Amino acid sequence: MWRDSPTPADSFYETRPECGEGPKTKFKIKAGRTLSVRRWHAAFSQEGYLDTASVLSRIQRGGVHPSIRGEVWEFLLGCFDPQSTFDEREQLRQHRRVQYARWKEECREMDSHVGSGILVTAPIITEDGKPIQDPIVLLEANPDQGLPCGSQANDGAQSNGIFTVDDTQITDKKVIDWKLTLHQIGLDVLRTDRVLVFYQKKENLSKLWDILAVYAWIDKDVGYCQGMSDICSPLIILLEDEADAFWCFERLMRKLRGNFRCTERSIGVENQLQSLASITQVLDPKLHRHLETLGGGDYLFAVRMLMVLFRRELSFGDSLYLWEMMWALEYHPDLFSMYEEQEFVIKKNDESKRKVKSIRQFGKYERDNIKNGSKMSNGPLPITVFLVVSILKDKSTKLMQQARGLDDVVKILNDVSGNLDAKKACSSAMKLHKKYLKMVKK
């Protein structure tokens, strides 16, 4: 039926009526442009090899139909090798599910909240590793369970046999650091996409909390940072199996983890902000000088856009469309082999899988980088930087005429929220990227 008339993407992601109207979607599913179920299935050979060129072309023109979005994203994010068979991918999927279960059990042994369905929303440990046994704090950490009658602060607490606290001090700093993040994850989960009906179910909130808690443990360099819940949330919705959603998130974080590596002296997206400044200076020197005059030469006003990939500037459905457009444009055919761990390698005996990659198997953005011989000191710039540049260019006149301080800059850019057209923004970003590469080459 969706072939007969354009369908708003947000109609697939039901919102709660009491939350009022949020940003309206501008993306519509269109026959002949959007990657359909039929086109997706037709892109596989009998053995399971995927024709990435035809798929990328369709996604770059019109996005992915929501009913197949999860499985398409697994390829776009490098979870699977397009030159693998159906059997090889199933074998890898089962291996990953077992690995996730092991990690989750490891976390559950350190803290019994993991996998229990309970969200931790209050601190459960002090910075020196002592469990917090204040009954009020424990009640906040377990609001649905409550405390058993007669429990006292120095007795520990147990909630229906699920949660037990003793006075054993933890000495392992890695465990302490991890447990200190659990309540922040809980608070962020409760704030993430709550306008969606999907998150009215407590088990879906718990799934999001568990994935973020496990990830924070296995990636100790980054741990958990605010904004990760916004990145992970769509994957919970699109992939029914928790382990599959985790691995999709893990692959996405390989692209984005640098955004969340913050220290006392620097923020994760600092390199991107510096690149944003340099690119704007080349493409619109007058605007750059004006922003510098206002004290915005560090471009910190763009941090949110870069960190959470425009989640706050778009409706839920449009943000997913923007993401898949970006990933298709940036796609590299060796993404899987660049990401895959050595501990589990599928043997490839079929010489047909060793073919030299055609330029058509790369995304258009990546092709432009290859054709122009782009060599950035920190690797190729993500397309998100050029998306921000396209927004600045679009608002350039208004910024030049009306911005008299940083507050004005922030206000003008905030007006983008709910009014950004993902497809037009991507198209503009691609044009600016080409123009920039040519100017730099000269």
Asked whether residue 146 is domain-assigned, the answer is yes
Using DSSP bridges, classify how beta strands 158-159 and 28-29 pair: parallel, antiparallel or unpaired: unpaired
Categorize the per-residue pLDDT at 346 as very low, low, confident or very high, splitting at 50, 70 and 90.
very low
Q: Given this model, what pLDDT does residue 64 score?
A: 95
Residue 158 has pLDDT above 50, yes or no: no
Residues 387/325, Cβ–Cβ less than 8 Å: no
In this predicted structure, the answer to whether residue 8 has a pLDDT above a threshold of 50 is: yes
> Which whole number is the average pLDDT over 378-385?
80
Answer yes or no: is 160 within a domain. yes
Predicted confidence (pLDDT) at residue 101 exceeds the cutoff of 70: yes
| Predicted local distance difference test score (pLDDT) of residue 2 | 42
Residue 328 pLDDT more than 50? yes
Please state the φ and ψ torsions of residue 47, each to the nearest 5 degrees. Answer: -80, -25
Query: Has residue 156 been placed in a domain?
Result: yes
Give residue 159's pLDDT. 38
- The answer to which of 79-93, 125-139, 359-373 has the lowest mean pLDDT is 125-139
**Under a CB-based contact definition with an 8 Å cutoff, are residues 186 and 119 in contact?**
yes
Among 113, 125, 120, CA closest to 139: 120
Give residue 147's pLDDT band: very low, low, confident or very high (50, 70, 90): very low
d(CA 58, CA 427): 15
Choose the weakest-confidence range: 364-368, 389-393, 399-403: 364-368
The predicted model scores a pTM of 0.87
- Please name the residues in contact with 260: beta carbons below 8 A apart, sequence gap of 6 or more: 222, 225, 227, 228, 268, 307
In this structure, the strands spanning 7-8 and 28-29 are antiparallel
Round to whole Å and give the CA distance between 83 and 88.
10
Residue 160's pLDDT band (cuts 50, 70, 90): very low
Q: Given a cut of 60, is residue 408 above it in pLDDT?
A: yes
**Per-residue pLDDT at 438:** 87
At 361 the three-state DSSP class reads helix
Number of structural domains, the chain?
1
pLDDT digits (tens, 9 = 90+) for 44-100: 999 999 999 999 999 998 999 999 999 999 999 999 999 999 999 999 999 999 999
For residue 249, pLDDT over 80 is answered with: yes
Distance between CA atoms of residues 376 and 78, nearest Å: 22
Q: Kindly write down the DSSP assignment for every residue of 153-222, as one continuous string.
A: GGG--EETTTEE---PPP--HHHHHHHHHHHHHHHHHHHTTTTBGGGGSHHHHHHHHHHHHHHHHH-TTT
Closest CA to 251 of 232, 226, 229, 223: 232
What pLDDT does 165 receive? 52
The pLDDT of residue 166 is: 53
Inside any domain, residue 157: yes
> Mapping DSSP to helix (H, G, I), strand (E, B) and coil, where does residue 379 land?
coil
Query: Is position 182 within any domain?
Result: no
Q: Which of 170-174, 181-185, 360-364 has the highest mean pLDDT?
A: 181-185
Give pLDDT, residue 21.
Answer: 62
Residue 238 located in a structural domain:
no
Structural domain of 148: 131-167
Query: How does DSSP assign 47-108, residue by residue?
Result: S--B-HHHHHHHHHHH-B-GGGHHHHHHHHTTSS-TTS-HHHHHHHHHHHHHHHHHHHHHHH
pLDDT at 303: 92
Q: What is the mean pLDDT of residues 162-187?
A: 82
Average pLDDT for 379-398: 91
Report the pLDDT averaged over residues 174-184: 94
pLDDT at 377: 45
Distance in angstroms (rounded) separating the CA atoms of residues 183 and 142: 11
- Could you give the percent of the chain with pLDDT greater than 90? 59
3-state helix, strand, coil in the chain (%, to 5): 55, 5, 40
**Whole-number pLDDT of residue 353:** 46
What's the pLDDT score for residue 20? 64
Q: Higher pLDDT residue, 80 or 268?
A: 80
What is the per-residue pLDDT for 152?
35
The rounded distance, in Å, linking the Cα atoms of 64 and 325 is 9
Q: Is residue 417 part of a domain?
A: no
Contact 211, 123 (CB under 8 A): no
Mean per-residue pLDDT of the chain = 84
Residue 156 main-chain phi, psi, to 5 deg: 80, 180
The arithmetic mean of pLDDT across residues 238-265, rounded, is 89
The mean pLDDT of 185-210, rounded to a whole number, is 95
State mean pLDDT over 18-47: 85
pLDDT above 80 for 184: yes
Decide which of 353 and 129 is more confident: 129
Residue 441's pLDDT is 77
Residue 137 falls inside a structural domain: yes
